[in-house]
Structure 1
Amino acid sequence: MLTACRSYEEACRTFRWKIPERYNLAFDVCDRQTMAGADGHRTALIVEAADGGVERHTFHMLRLLSNRLANGLAAMGIAPGDRVAMALPAGLEAAVTLLAVTKMGAVLVPVPLSLGSEPLGWRLADSGARVAVVDPAALPALERARSRLPELERVLAVGGGGGALDLWSELERSSDAFTPLVTPADHPAFIFYPEAACGRPAGVIHAHRAMAGGLPAVEMSLTFFPQFGDIVWTSSEWMGAEALFRAVLPAWHHGVPVVACPGPFDPVQALDLMSRHGVRTAYVPPHHLGALTEAAASRPHAMPRAIASGPEPLDEDLHERVIKVFGVHANEAWGVLESGAVAANLAGLMELRPPSPGRAAPGLSIDAVDERGRPLRAGDRGLLAVSPNAPGSFLGYWGDGAGAARRVNGWLITGRSGFRDLDHYLWPDPPSLPEGAVLVGGCPVQPEEVELALAAHPDVVAAAVLEWTSGELKAFVVAGGRAADAAFTRELQAWVRLTRSPVEVPSRMEFVDELPLSMDGSVRRADLRDRPIRVDAPSPDERWPGKLR
């Protein structure tokens, strides 16, 4: 834990790592909060439902419920090292599952709730998950992928149905007495996959110590977190590493309540939520922070004590708008999925130099190195690498997976290029897109994968997908015997949502008699871009669509 300091140099000089060799994450963030004189009846989780109902859960309640689930999973044959997948919204069920799986030494595989059957199936098949705990909304996608998941033995869902066991019925049948496994600090606890649906990414294995390894950067970005009266909220989805390692788990480590609200992010609703529950510290990623700041500029809102963002750096304009609207700087915590949070800035402790995310967190060193891991001079661009003593770094990729990060001479090369200046500020380059991918709503999308999803529909002969100038997708579809009307368009959009993800759904569709093909059978996309304007189209956007990229 960082102590309040007057300078960055003092924070680095006085910091010492204190992660024990035997360390279980769930015991630290939950069970410990109910022992040794600690008040286990303090509020740990505040959940506001869509209908406005509010439930408050104490650390003692989370401990007993997670004990029940741990016993239930053990009765199903789950042992230390086995993988358990989780696709749940922010709330009680997600908290209980997270704590239960990690306290028994199994490995949790969080999967975003929005993923369709193809990316969901890949993550469960690649990780070899034996049990999945899911929200009822994920059951249709899981059912489509089930035939490709031979290792998946049981599915638990809230309310059951669709071949799944009822989660709460399993809890009622199990004992609330369970002793957390005393795990080594480097025992695997999580397998994280990128939140975007595109591709078949490798799973990133993180140990029980990963959250503690990122605490210096997180506590610095949240202005020497915790402070008296802090209540934490994040707009990030709980099924991602950023939400868990930068907000939820650090809060519980310090005995601080967390506010959760299931459902997609809405800036106006988020501001009201923060006001109703007295949120004083918030982690908001850049693509949410801009919308939140814009909404706050025109309505009354809470004034948080600290706002943290990341992992991507903020530009100077957004920094200025945040301080104008909220009265505090948006500090940043930087790092890739493999490294965790390893760098941060803090207004008042150091000069903010956007778009630099700051300097290496206390206890760590970050440098630009060449391909052989040799440090470069200040100002020379290379690969950003983290020092060998970083406890938050990943253990490796799952199975035969390969990714951009690797270790050379003990240093973790993050796979991100950039440089360090003479004052040790980091200047990472923007992340590169996978070959053939485009950005839609801030997420990488492979149009070819959307084409394959459309072509798999029984009433589609062929499809081609192009990027639109407004950052949307347009599909050209050859229908097979179906009326090319609005109802069929909505059916195809629902199909892509079920099989891929909502962000990959083409917002525009045009039905054509055939796709223009080259001699080698590939689609001539330039011909689709040059198609004449449809003066008879029902939508003004279709009559005058503008130029395609």
Structure 2
Amino acid sequence: MLTACRTYEEACRTFRWKIPERYNLAFDVCDRQTMGGADGHRTALIVEAADGGIERHTFHMLRLLSNRLANALAAFGVVPGDRVAMVLPAGLEAAVTLLAVTKMGAVLVPVPLSLGAGPLGWRLADSGARVAVVDALALPALDRARHRLPDLERVLVSGGSAAGAQDLWSELERASDAFTPLVTPADHPAFIFYPEGACGTPAGVIHAHRAMAGGLPAVEMALTFFPQFGDVVWTSGDWMGAEALFRAVLPAWHHGVPVVARPGPFDPSEALDLMSRHGVRAAYVPGHHLGALAEAAATRPHAMPRAISTGPEPLDEALHERVIKVFGIHANEAWGVLESGAVAANLAGLMELRPPSPGRAAPGLSIDAVDERGRPLRAGDRGILAVSPNAPGSFLGYWGDGAGQAKRSNGWLLTGRTGFRDLDHYLWPDPPCLPEGAILVKGEPVRPEEVELALASHPAVVAAAVVEWSAGELKAFVVSGGRAGEAAFARELQGWVSRMRAPAEVPTRVEFVDELPRAVDGSLRRGDLLEGPIRLDAPSPDDRWPGKIR
């Protein structure tokens, strides 16, 4: 939507929204690329497997495969408005599922593959998903949660069949590759996103088909007037999250640009190799990955991309300087919350960068700090950051809170984040607040009580307590039913938590104790756990010393 400009003011002055009233996301990013004279045999997706094998898929291929899956889902009884869950790594199956569900007017519920039975089961149960398309790695967690999913009728698994599941590719082979996308209104529900972390039982955020297009101005600005000739896009973000989809994958396909995908967790060295092999010129790298990527790039030869965007949290000046030093370009930011999508951005050369401000409102939008009654505040006054009324990227409402309405005041969409704007309309958001009772572990909020419940559900555990051992690490104190002191049992408990919860919630250390210290009222005295005597028999020197609860 943006055109290359010399100043931010010119970009705002010349910008016009181009979202039709009838708009289907899958048709826009896939089917349209094969029609009206477009070359549907252009590469849309490059998938590199863990063994080094590379597959290239065209827009035409994605169209036919997604048509097959849409027909298969329709045969299962899925109709517009039904929820279909997707638990897949980045790759062909995720692309086909995303396109199939949205082109038939159903609602996609992406769930990170790393989540265990607890948070996975909550998301599928809360959304009422009728069908789930999952990777084989997700089956153990899904099986543990299956008894809590009365609405789940079918499971399609990629990588083979299993008890209670059908093989995805077998179903695709039997289905027709002819399907006409549903002509949906632009505000027809298309996604239900939950926070990517496992903490708590959050309400789902409903986004419409227009959500991706509504965030394009900020995305295109942060990627330096994307697209440009020869662009190839990659993101280190999880494809099961709104950020990776709306800031990289879908904008790329909207412009007919190929996307590179590699399943598996983020590894900075492998990411640099991937970018070099496939000539990645535009990348979206979330802030919690960018530091590791820049550190790896400082010690080895690497590709020099044309543009790097990051977000959603602002970067400090030190990280900005590290990125410039190793990549020769600024990391431009696109800011926004899950409910609003990307609504603000900066672009080196177009405007002055003022870290840690993420920039100014994207063209076509207004952002201000407002009071509790929705009245804009003076520059420099701290309030609730809010987005102008009728912003196309704004969510439709919450799925699980009963009322289901977006939080608005005097027409403004409230982001839930506090902060202020300065006289030049730069935004200065405050750091996000952790949920009550949560601590930050590996960049994700974690409630120790939820980890304790997961440990206590193990048949050989009598009781468990979890505390913060050091900054960003968890330590579990376990009362065992007879296997105390076994190193193998400690590893077994760590694996148990990983299957039940999420990787960030796995305790770094496990210590077996005879009993847990409790107050007179029965509550756990967590402070006493880390104030015990030195343990000379500890398996590691680090475990001998008491720590501090932060």
Output the TM-score relative to the length of structure 2.
0.99
Q: Where do residues 78-227 of structure 1 align in structure 2 (5 Å cutoff)?
A: 78-158=78-158, 159-227=160-228
Q: Deviations over 1:238-290 (max 9, x none)?
A: 00000000000000000000000000000000000000000000000111000
- Contact kept, 8 Å, 2:531 with 2:546, in 1: the verdict is no
- For residues 546 and 362 of structure 1, the distance between their equivalents in structure 2, rounded to whole angstroms, comes to 50
- For residues 404 and 151 of structure 1, the distance between their equivalents in structure 2, rounded to whole angstroms, comes to 24
- Contact kept, 8 Å, 1:193 with 1:204, in 2: the verdict is yes
Q: 1:530 corresponds to which residue?
A: 531
- Contact kept, 8 Å, 2:387 with 2:412, in 1: the verdict is yes
Q: Where do residues 196-275 of structure 1 align in structure 2 (5 Å cutoff)?
A: 196-275=197-276
Q: Where do residues 477-496 of structure 1 align in structure 2 (5 Å cutoff)?
A: 477-496=478-497
- For residues 411 and 548 of structure 1, the distance between their equivalents in structure 2, rounded to whole angstroms, comes to 40
Partner AA of 2:294 in structure 1: T
- For residues 489 and 137 of structure 1, the distance between their equivalents in structure 2, rounded to whole angstroms, comes to 23
Partner AA of 2:161 in structure 1: G
- Contact kept, 8 Å, 1:313 with 1:355, in 2: the verdict is yes
Q: Tell me whether 1:544 sits opposite 2:545 in the alignment.
A: yes
1:543 shift after superposition = 2.2
- Contact kept, 8 Å, 1:4 with 1:224, in 2: the verdict is yes
- For residues 250 and 364 of structure 2, the distance between their equivalents in structure 1, rounded to whole angstroms, comes to 20
Q: 1:65 corresponds to which residue?
A: 65
Partner AA of 2:82 in structure 1: D
1:405 shift after superposition = 6.3
**How well do the aligned residues superpose, as a CA RMSD in angstroms?**
1.1
Q: 2:519 corresponds to which residue?
A: 518
Partner AA of 1:440 in structure 2: V
- For residues 405 and 118 of structure 2, the distance between their equivalents in structure 1, rounded to whole angstroms, comes to 23
- Contact kept, 8 Å, 2:398 with 2:406, in 1: the verdict is no
Q: 2:278 corresponds to which residue?
A: 277
Aligned partner of residue 468 in structure 1, secondary structure: strand
- For residues 295 and 242 of structure 2, the distance between their equivalents in structure 1, rounded to whole angstroms, comes to 26
1:325 shift after superposition = 0.5
- For residues 412 and 177 of structure 2, the distance between their equivalents in structure 1, rounded to whole angstroms, comes to 43
Q: Where do residues 145-544 of structure 1 align in structure 2 (5 Å cutoff)?
A: 145-158=145-158, 159-400=160-401, 406-544=407-545
- For residues 389 and 343 of structure 2, the distance between their equivalents in structure 1, rounded to whole angstroms, comes to 12
- Contact kept, 8 Å, 2:527 with 2:549, in 1: the verdict is no
- Contact kept, 8 Å, 2:484 with 2:512, in 1: the verdict is no
1:410 shift after superposition = 1.7
- Contact kept, 8 Å, 1:202 with 1:403, in 2: the verdict is no
- For residues 354 and 131 of structure 1, the distance between their equivalents in structure 2, rounded to whole angstroms, comes to 44
1:346 shift after superposition = 0.2
Aligned partner of residue 132 in structure 2, secondary structure: strand
1:525 shift after superposition = 1.1
- For residues 118 and 387 of structure 1, the distance between their equivalents in structure 2, rounded to whole angstroms, comes to 37
- Contact kept, 8 Å, 2:460 with 2:481, in 1: the verdict is yes
1:169 shift after superposition = 0.2
Q: Deviations over 1:192-230 (max 9, x none)?
A: 000010100000000000000000000000000000000
- Contact kept, 8 Å, 2:397 with 2:405, in 1: the verdict is no
Aligned partner of residue 474 in structure 1, secondary structure: strand
- For residues 402 and 538 of structure 1, the distance between their equivalents in structure 2, rounded to whole angstroms, comes to 52
Q: 2:12 corresponds to which residue?
A: 12
1:471 shift after superposition = 1.2
- For residues 441 and 244 of structure 2, the distance between their equivalents in structure 1, rounded to whole angstroms, comes to 22
- Total equivalences in the alignment: 549
- Contact kept, 8 Å, 1:472 with 1:506, in 2: the verdict is yes
1:490 shift after superposition = 1.0
Q: 1:43 corresponds to which residue?
A: 43
- Contact kept, 8 Å, 1:281 with 1:305, in 2: the verdict is yes
Q: Tell me whether 1:3 sits opposite 2:3 in the alignment.
A: yes
1:155 shift after superposition = 0.2
Aligned partner of residue 146 in structure 2, secondary structure: helix
1:545 shift after superposition = 5.3
- For residues 378 and 521 of structure 1, the distance between their equivalents in structure 2, rounded to whole angstroms, comes to 50
Aligned partner of residue 36 in structure 1, secondary structure: coil
- For residues 146 and 343 of structure 1, the distance between their equivalents in structure 2, rounded to whole angstroms, comes to 40
- Contact kept, 8 Å, 1:405 with 1:415, in 2: the verdict is no
- For residues 139 and 97 of structure 1, the distance between their equivalents in structure 2, rounded to whole angstroms, comes to 17
- For residues 303 and 192 of structure 2, the distance between their equivalents in structure 1, rounded to whole angstroms, comes to 36
Q: Deviations over 1:45-90 (max 9, x none)?
A: 0000000000000000000000000000000000000000000000
- Contact kept, 8 Å, 1:202 with 1:401, in 2: the verdict is no
Q: Which runs of 5+ in 1 are unaligned?
A: none
1:125 shift after superposition = 0.4
Partner AA of 1:99 in structure 2: L
- Contact kept, 8 Å, 1:233 with 1:283, in 2: the verdict is yes
Q: Deviations over 1:96-129 (max 9, x none)?
A: 0000000000000000000000100000000000
- Contact kept, 8 Å, 1:455 with 1:463, in 2: the verdict is yes
- For residues 366 and 81 of structure 1, the distance between their equivalents in structure 2, rounded to whole angstroms, comes to 32
1:163 shift after superposition = 1.9
- For residues 84 and 536 of structure 1, the distance between their equivalents in structure 2, rounded to whole angstroms, comes to 51
Aligned partner of residue 66 in structure 1, secondary structure: helix
- For residues 477 and 382 of structure 1, the distance between their equivalents in structure 2, rounded to whole angstroms, comes to 44
- For residues 39 and 417 of structure 1, the distance between their equivalents in structure 2, rounded to whole angstroms, comes to 46
Partner AA of 2:44 in structure 1: A
Cα distance change, pair 440–185 in 1 and its aligned pair in 2 (3 A) = same
1:401 shift after superposition = 5.5
- For residues 457 and 538 of structure 1, the distance between their equivalents in structure 2, rounded to whole angstroms, comes to 23
Q: Deviations over 1:25-58 (max 9, x none)?
A: 0000000000000000000000000000000000
Larger mean CA deviation between 328-337 and 538-547 belongs to 538-547
- Contact kept, 8 Å, 1:202 with 1:402, in 2: the verdict is no
Partner AA of 2:446 in structure 1: V
